[in-house]
Structure 1
Amino acid sequence: KESRLSVSKMQDPSSSSAEKHIGSANGDGDLDSEDGSSLEEMGFSWGDYLEETGTRAAPHSSFRHVEISIQSNFQPGMKLEVANKNNPDTYWVATIITTCGQLLLLRYCGYGEDRRADFWCDVVIADLHPVGWCTQNNKVLMPPDAIKEKYTDWTEFLIRDLTGSRTAPANLLEGVCIPITHLL
């Protein structure tokens, strides 16, 4: 299902009354005018602006990532299978270190407390799966090259590492991965 951003009438932004007053974001998401006051304080209304310019607001479905960030329920410590960055035809188990909206900070299993290889992953477009997905789908589960030599038996290591851990539930990952072309 494709989401498309549509605007019913395009207008030269230099003629927009709002642009004359908009300066920059002040860090908390509110837009400030050049003199530092917020648009709300100046009496600006998005509804009035859209009506005045003959445009429509983008539908909420265009901002699925916001919904995901609010309702994702991903928790630090959960495990999941993720595409191996250096060998995209293979996967490896990673632990969620922290979450930030739709972003997950992940660490491949086998790195222990070493943070140097941690990486951010966008739940909307990343190739993420619950633990066990590779086995069910005949995909190759292989550790990253940087830690291959660390353990002689990766199967035994994974069994020990996964024992007692929480996997990211399948319902958090189902339908999350959408092709980037659908976002454009």
Structure 2
Amino acid sequence: MLSECLSYWSFNVSDADSGQHVSEFNWDDYLEETGALSVPHHAFKHVSKPGQTGLTPGMKLEVCVRTEIETAYWVATIITTCGQLLLLRYEGYQDDRRADFWCDIMTADLHPIGWSKQQRRPMRPPEGVREKHQDWEALLEKALAESCSVPASLLEGVRYMP
């Protein structure tokens, strides 16, 4: 949701001067714990509404796994969108949002489902998924068979840094 976008910009940044990383703050948890209400989305007219990019929560795509030494890709699900930012969750984390990550569609290495196979690129999950799932190959097979892929046309023209 928009509150997640705001928490990313407000609290998930490094203080360049001190070299310290500010711990992540989760607005949804805070609002639930305090009983507070979030500001309605229409109050943020300057922020793109979900769907304007055509990318919607639930769509899946292949994304470069940055923690791997060798370039590998894994399936991720779009959790929410905020303009050109996507909150993604790797396949295998189910409802565990601790490993969710933000990426910018203009700079991230994102592809529709099936791209890795066409390009003969390796598909390998991040370490956290390998720890949770002994048979991650079966997990991948299931994800590829059942996925609602991001249409290739929505990623065309999007540049990325390999």
Give the TM-score band, short-chain normalised: 0.5 to 0.7
Q: Distance in 2 between matches of 1:93 and 1:179?
A: 18
TM-fit CA distance, 1:143: 0.4
Aligned mate of 1:74, from 55, 62, 67: 55
Q: Distance in 2 between matches of 1:28 and 1:97?
A: 20
**TM-aligned CA distance change 1:109 to 1:70, over 3 Å:** closer
Aligned mate of 1:84, from 55, 61, 65: 65
2:18 aligns to what?
none
Contact persistence 2:108–2:161 (CA under 8 A): no
1:128 aligns to what?
110
Query: Which consecutive unaligned segments of at least 5 residues does structure 2 have?
Result: 1-42
TM-score of the superposed pair, with normalisation by structure 2: 0.64
1:139 aligns to what?
121
Over aligned residue pairs, what C-alpha RMSD do you find? 2.5
1:21 aligns to what?
none
Q: Which amino acid aligns with 2:116?
A: C
1:155 aligns to what?
137
3-state SS of paired residue (2:64): strand
Q: Distance in 1 between matches of 2:133 and 2:161?
A: 35
TM-fit CA distance, 1:71: 4.2
1:117 aligns to what?
99
1:100 aligns to what?
82
- Count of residue correspondences: 117
TM-fit CA distance, 1:179: 5.1
TM-fit CA distance, 1:160: 2.3
TM-fit CA distance, 1:134: 0.5
TM-score of the superposed pair, with normalisation by structure 1: 0.57
Query: Which consecutive unaligned segments of at least 5 residues does structure 1 have?
Result: 1-26, 31-65
